[in-house]
Structure 1
Amino acid sequence: MADRHAGKPETPDIKMPDPAEVSAAMTNIAERSQRLINDFLSRQSAQPETPSFDPLNIAGAFLEMTTRLMADPAKLVEAQVSLWQDYMNLWQNTARRMMGEESSPVVEPDKSDRRFKDDAWKDNEVFDFIKQSYLLTSRWVQSLVNDVDGLDDKSAQKVDFYTRQFIDAMAPSNFVLTNPEVLRVTAETGGENLLKGLEHLLSDLERGHGRLRISMTDETAFEVGRNVATTPGSVVFENDLIQLLQYTPTTETVGTVPLLIVPPWINKFYILDLREKNSFIKWCVDQGLTVFVISWVNPNEALAAKSFENYMLEGSLAAIEAIIRQTGSQKVNAVGYCLGGTLLASTMAYMAATGDDRLASGTLLTTLTDFTDPGEIGVFIDDEQLKALDERMQRTGYLDGSDMANSFNMLRSNDLVWSFVINNYLLGKEPFPFDLLYWNGDSTRMPAAMHSFYLHNMYQENNLIKPGGITLNGQPIDLRDIKTPVYMLSAREDHIAPWKSTFAATQVFSGKVRFVLGASGHIAGVVNPPVANKYCYWTNPKKVKTADTWLKGAEQHDGSWWTDWVNWLKPSLGAQIPARRPEDGPLGVIEPAPGRYVKIRAV
């Protein structure tokens, strides 16, 4: 019988760190850490008042949940017994694996869950046990809090959301000692990955002035106007809030009626002009449209008093007026994206109420007008949180862009938070250059008056859907007055503007509405160029009352909704005329696209 101990065991490939390099790195880290601590203490002492320890009012929701849970001990015991049974099965299966027997997993991660893609999570019995223990416990916790009777909808949503945040944060992949890939890299590099990770962490804290601002991409790899937002054009009009860009035509003739794009102001317009191959703006120009886009200013405290009404008067309406002067066309087609769509719908209702018929058509991309069910973003909207937010905006004059970005990132924390924690801080890797993530990190501020009005009137009180619920420039508006043809594009997996909520507008507008549902989410569902042929879309010309009925009768189409939209738009384009260049119009050229406003960074 062969001696199983015979032969020299293999030595792991472990790199020993250089003491001098470690000493220098730790000295640098200590100095930077001390600076950050001093800066933090200085800011704290300068605060005019002590902020609430629980501005999100999480404790109240969880206290109510716990009270109701304890009121039904039988259900609690039943859930506990079920968990122990699962654990017994897991222990038995793991023991069989360790003895060389085949064993099926008790629980497996979702196929889309990239946290456990390393082979060791499956091949190594210990890490497989850790993974399954986590999945069983997280499933138990979520089912327990979701099964509590008597919670109001807002509290139940908050408990569910923050429970998932806690579960995601506690994933074994997020810790050095329970992540097999991190352990392997630590052995291979002699711990250099952890030193680099600590330096990355400090750099992100420094970049956020004491607040953690996770680097999602190599920001030095991109520059607005150089390799993103590069479609040729000119700024032809500007005021305090907007620059209006007109793009250089690429066709000999264009439709008479120009196109205005109203992007959201919570981020920058160049999501629609990232690269030539996926630029919606460039594609529209190539279709023979005279394209204008609003570039919102990145406001500071000087614009604190700018309201939602100002965004209509100095934004969408000012742009329409400037386009008519520039082109001579008496009509304009308009596209609004996300919040830009909410503003466009409000503008259309205002124009209808004042007898202004200068819009030939309106297109709303992933746009909420009825905020009855705004999706998970609603977890951040209640009396306590809005009060804390209003107080903070009153002190600064605006909402910092990072606050909004952090809220949206939390909606997909595994993809937009924890994956970067692992890559940047645990593995010590440099962020990968990615234009979409560069745009995502190029945040914008929101003026205090405008953002407070928007949150209170739209999300909290849902006034836009009410006849006369909102008054703009002295005029009560009603979405039911809109008779202009409307094209609505929503995205099936949208977590910011849930498609079934956006569908509600089809029952409100008085004119003809074409509702189209795209695959994927809030961004990929919109930025879906035909050349990529990546996602499909659904159409249903019948006017039905519910989103579910609409989907049941919808027809699926391969390819991009862009082609469907431009075919819908053609009757509103008017006759073909010689192409119009920015420099040919009476407004003149202020500066080349993409202009100054889009280059103003929040930090």
Structure 2
Amino acid sequence: MDKHVSHRPCDDETAPDPMEGVADLLDRIAGASLAQWTMGIAPESLMAAYADWAVHFMRSPGRSLLLSAKGARKAQRLGDYATRALGGGGKAERCIAPLAHDHRFDDAAWDTWPYGLWQQSFLLTQQWVDAAVRDCPGVSPHHEAILRFGLRQMLDLVSPANFAATNPVVQQRMLETGGKCLADGAKLWAEDWQRLVRREASDTGEDFEVGRNMAVTPGKVVFRNELIELIQYAPTTERVRAEPILIVPAWIMKYYILDLSPENSMIRYLVDQGFTVFTISWRNPGPEMRDTGMEDYRRDGVMRAMDAVSAITGAEHIHACGYCLGGTLLAIAAAAMARDGNNRLASVTLLAAQTDFTEPGEIGLFIDDAQVRYLENLMWQQGYLDSRQMGGAFEMLRSADLIWSRGVQEYLMGKRASANDMMAWNADGTRMPYAMHSQYLRRLFLENALARERYVAGGATVAMTDITAPLYVVGTEADHVAPWRSVWKIHTLTDGEIRFVLTNRGHNAGVVSPPGEDRRHYRVLDRPEDENHHDPDAWLAIAALTSGSWWTDWSEWLLAHSGQSVPAREPGNAKAGYPALDDAPGRYVLER
């Protein structure tokens, strides 16, 4: 009798390996642990950048010879400076000037002997090191940028400005205070260290407080869900424009950057110009919101707020304004609305907001596959990205000013910088959910999906070309978060009407630009619908330069795109199902 025996394969290659989950878990734990110590910066990205440069440099004997010659010339310039200084009583004209943004050596004491020799030697070395890694044939631009950044951090660490023994300004302060400044600095350092250990916010004094003298424009919370509070502001004019304004701030920051102290409040300014103003106040997420993604922010944030604004005011059209990451989200929402035939938008204003991420600026140093994986591991462990972990990366982009100069001022000279409303707001950090931030970095920064018409919102892809509402777009000259040339790229994504404004100062100070402040200016140029655009440099050459605040230009533009006036609207509409819930600024903005 034949016996048929069935044999089970020893190894089924199609079945999932149970060890894969264990391996992924171990990898994530290891990555998260290391990321805690490196501020989310991936060491492998730094090593890859160095290896790329080193390999190409070693096979470039001509470049080695060129750098040797540069080094010899710089040594000669330094020797000539030293000779002139010794012959001139310790002073001489500098042979190299600091970069325009570097103010560490502005004090005249730095031009006396031997401090002048030290700062000139440092600046020449800094210039030579940068030249050594710049434009090396074959090195990828991203690796070159990372290496230049890393070397800059190393050099900034040993700057003569950082040490009492080599800083004449610190030594003068020591003489004036009898050395007490060092004791005061040690006390400030101890206070900051304790706050760091306790994970407390930076000390900005008691002069600024949300609800007392910041975020005090009168209004009511008129809607709340698990993600947002919607605030409607009380009118200050008898009549208002028919179209309300909805502001979409970034959830990387608290909304009151646009409602600081009354004299610096954009929201108060708009209300006083006769607009009905609403703003979203985002919830500060904790671990329970780890799976909240970009689509949740669009659907339950922007679109839910827009529905409430329409129901409360009865307006057919809305002016929508998005700032930073909120502007990018608003652009996605506007494209999805246009795709679906939703024409509620009277206009779209984007403040320092990118829609094309091919040139994201220096922040791109922290965004490649390895870096994003590192951050994902960190967020996977916590459920969110903490504001301190984000802030550290931004500070390193301007380490000379934000880290070392501040450290010298506080810890060596014993003087805490005077607080202002912007500093108080900046210290009031927020978190970002794991899913959302991962999607944001991968889909927008790494894949540039929005500009390539591959971004999915509401179940289908969106295209910026579908937006027909007029656009008012603001870039800032000194923006290291959303460089203005990157913001300008919206000209290439849509054929609609664009009024592009370039204002002075940076990402925050350029946007918060109340009328009446000194040294404010902006450039502006319209591109009519379906008209060819200029490249950024050509735009800069022909755009009209105007003194003052761009807020006045924006207000006039909004008025020109608005209908007739209607009686002023008080916050809330109980009949429409939106009663006033709480006084502004609400609950979510107070969450820590």
The answer to whether the 8 A contact 1:253-1:576 is kept is yes
Q: Aligned runs of 1:5-20 on 2, under 5 Å? A: none
1:260 CA drift (Å): 0.3
**1:258–1:573 contact (8 Å) kept in structure 2:** no
Q: 1:169 to 1:526 in 2, by over 3 A?
A: same
Counterpart residue identity of residue 152, structure 1? S
- Asked if 1 retains the 8 angstrom alpha-carbon contact of 2:231 and 2:585, the reply is yes
Give 1:153-232 correspondences, 5 Å limit.
153-209=141-197, 215=202, 218-232=204-218
Over residues 261-313 of structure 1, what are the superposed CA-to-partner deviations in whole Å (9 max), with x where a residue is unaligned? 00111111111111222211111000000000111111100111111000011
Deviation at 1:485, TM superposition (A): 1.6
- 1:479 maps to 464
CA–CA separation in structure 2 for the residues paired with 1:139 and 1:461:
34
Give the residue type in structure 1 aligned to 2:590. K
The one-letter code matched in structure 1 to 2:544 is E
Tell me if 1:595 matches 2:586: yes
One-letter identity of the residue aligned with 1:539: V
Secondary structure at the aligned position of 2:56 is classed as: helix
| Offset at residue 431 of structure 1 (A) | 3.4
**Equivalent in the alignment of 1:38:** none
The residue aligned with 1:60 is 48
Computed over aligned residues only, the root mean square deviation of the Cα atoms, in angstroms, reads 2.2
The alpha carbon displacement at 1:545 in A equals: 4.4
Residue in structure 2 matched with residue 495 of structure 1 by the alignment? 480
Q: Which of 130, 141, 144 pairs up with 1:142?
A: 130
Post-superposition offset of 1:583: 5.1
Q: Which moved more, 1:75-84 or 1:515-524?
A: 75-84
Secondary structure of 1:541's match? strand
Aligned-partner SS, 1:421: helix
Instruction: State the one-letter code of the partner of 2:583.
Output: P
**Aligned residue runs from structure 1 range 38-437, under 5 A:** 50-51=33-34, 55-56=42-43, 57-100=45-88, 103-110=92-99, 112-122=101-111, 124-209=112-197, 215=202, 218-437=204-423
Cα distance in 2 for partners of 1:271, 1:50 equals 33
TM-score, structure 1 normalization:
0.87
Q: Is the 8 A contact 1:204 1:214 kept in 2?
A: no
C-alpha separation between the residues in 2 aligned to 1:185 and 1:157? 37
Q: Indicate conservation of the 8 Å contact 1:255/1:577, yes or no.
A: yes
CA separation of 1:111 and 1:64: change in aligned 2, threshold 3 A: closer
1:330 deviation in Å?
2.4
CA distance in 2, matches of 1:96, 1:510: 60
Q: In 1, are the aligned partners of 2:32 and 2:378 still within 8 Å (CA)?
A: no
CA contact (8 A) 1:393 1:448 kept: yes
Alignment CA distance shift 1:448-1:127 (3 Å)? same
1:511 aligns with 2:461: no
Q: Please say if residues 49 and 147 of structure 2, whose CA atoms lie closer than 8 Å, have aligned partners that are also in contact.
A: yes
Secondary structure at 1:503's aligned position in 2?
helix
Deviations 1:78-113 (A, max 9, x none): 323432333233234324433446743222224553
Q: Residue 51 of structure 1 aligns to which amino acid in structure 2?
A: L
Deviations 1:162-190 (A, max 9, x none): 22222222221111211112223334444
Question: Paired residue for 1:529?
Answer: 514
Instruction: Give, in whole Å, the separation in 2 of the partners of 1:521 and 1:50.
Output: 34
What is the distance in 1 between the residues matched to 2:226 and 2:298? Answer: 13
**Match for 1:557 among 540, 546, 549?**
546
The one-letter code matched in structure 1 to 2:482 is: A
Number of paired residues? Answer: 552
Which among 435, 438, 448 is matched to residue 462 of structure 1? 448
Shift of 1:49: 7.0
* Worse-superposed segment, 404-413 or 162-171: 162-171
- TM-score calculated relative to the size of structure 2: 0.88
Cα deviations by residue, 1:368-417 (Å, 9 ceiling, x for unpaired): 10111111110001111111111111111101111111122222222221
2-side partners of 1:176 and 1:442: how far apart?
Answer: 32
In structure 1, C-alpha distance between the alignment counterparts of 2:179 and 2:469, rounded to whole Å: 63
Q: Give distance in 1, aligned partners of 2:558 and 2:201.
A: 41
Matched, 1:568 2:557: yes
Tell me the secondary structure at the aligned position of residue 104 of structure 2. Answer: helix
Kept in 2, the 8 Å contact 1:214–1:420? The answer is: no
Q: Distance in 1 between matches of 2:141 and 2:440?
A: 22
Give the superposition deviation at 1:550.
2.3
Tell me how far apart the structure 1 counterparts of residues 321 and 336 of structure 2 sit (CA, whole Å): 16
The answer to whether the Cα contact below 8 Å between 2:182 and 2:412 also exists between their aligned partners in 1 is yes
Check the 8 A contact 1:507/1:545 in 2, yes or no: no
Give the CA deviation at 1:580.
0.9
Report which stretch shifted further, 342-351 or 147-156: 147-156
Give 5+ residue unaligned stretches, structure 2: 1-28
2:4 counterpart residue number: none
For 2:76 and 2:100, how far apart are their aligned partners in 1?
Answer: 25
Identity value in percent: 41
Secondary structure in 2 aligned to 1:221?
Answer: coil
CA-CA distance at 1:135 after TM superposition:
0.8
Question: Mind listing any 5+ residue stretches in structure 1 that lack a counterpart?
Answer: 1-45
The residue aligned with 1:25 is none
Cα distance, 1:420 vs structure 2: 1.4
Change (3 A) 1:412 1:103: closer
Residues 572 and 106 of structure 1: CA distance in aligned 2, closer, same or farther (over 3 Å): closer
Q: Is the 1:514–1:541 contact (alpha carbons within 8 Å) kept by the matching residues of 2?
A: yes
72-81 or 503-512, which moves further after superposition?
A: 72-81
| Counterpart in the other structure of 1:41 | none
C-alpha separation in 2, matches of 1:461 and 1:406:
25
The aligned residue for residue 5 of structure 2 is: none
Shift of 1:131: 0.9
| Aligned CA distance change for structure 1 residues 582 and 245 (closer, same or farther; 3 Å) | same
Q: Is the 8 A contact 1:86 1:106 kept in 2?
A: no
Helix, strand or coil at the partner of 2:516: coil
Q: Is the 8 A contact 2:32 2:381 kept in 1?
A: no
- Tell me the alpha carbon deviations over residues 417-443 of structure 1, each in whole angstroms, 9 at most, x when there is no partner: 122111121112233212212211211
Please state how far the C-alpha of 1:252 moved relative to its aligned partner: 0.9
Going from structure 1 to structure 2, the CA distance change for 1:288 and 1:241 (only over 3 Å counts) comes to same
Q: One-letter code of the match for 2:395?
A: N
* Structure 2 residue matching 1:407: 3-state secondary structure: helix
After superposition, the C-alpha distances for 1:536-590 in whole angstroms (9 at most, x for unaligned) are 2222234414222322332222222222222221243322111111156542221
Matches of 2:243 and 2:405, distance apart in 1: 46
Q: What do the CA deviations read for 1:208-233 (whole angstroms, capped 9, x no partner)?
A: 2278x894x62433211112112111
